Amino acid sequence: ELDSMVRHLGIRMEELKNYSYCADPVLNSILCERKFVAESKGILYKIKLGNNLRTDFIEDLDLISIVGNLLYNAIEAAEKTKKDQHVICNMYMGNEGHLLVMEFYNSYILPLIKEREHYISTKRNPEDHGIGLHTVGKLVEKYGGVMRIEAGEEEFSVKIVFTVK
């Protein structure tokens, strides 16, 4: 059984290795890895990237922290919903290439806990906490960006806009 599982994972990894969302190897790796996770959980995973996407002004580790964390949180929240499990990510250049826009949407059902202006984790075990929305917000600010969080009735979204010089 283990041998069969390893072969299946190997096939999936080969599929993802040949999958390409964009030319940026770091961003592409994040998007592909999260695709594997989402699809293994039966979650609809849609990525739409605009042409001439520029992320070169963001340090690799910060890009991994921002995009990786937001997609991880989105997948985790979508997994807990019973219907319409989805994670959607759109990235595109706006204002004639002077803005980088990142949009993350996911289904969710848990009531969110908000303290002052910050969302608090709903995870009971502190060891399960990631870097958090607050830290992602700090990274966005580091690059002069703005982040807006919206919690609708069944969909959660995070929108980030960076000015590209």
- pTM for this model (two decimals): 0.80
Comparing CA positions, the residue from 165, 146, 140 lying closest to residue 67 is 140
What domains can be seen in the chain, in order of their start residue?
2-163 (3.30.565.10)
**pLDDT of 67-122, one tens digit each?**
999 999 999 999 999 889 999 999 999 999 999 999 999 999 866 555 455 444 45
Return d(Cα 116, Cα 33) in angstroms, integer.
34
Mean pLDDT of 123-138: 65
What was the pLDDT predicted at 62?
A: 97
What was the pLDDT predicted at 72?
A: 95
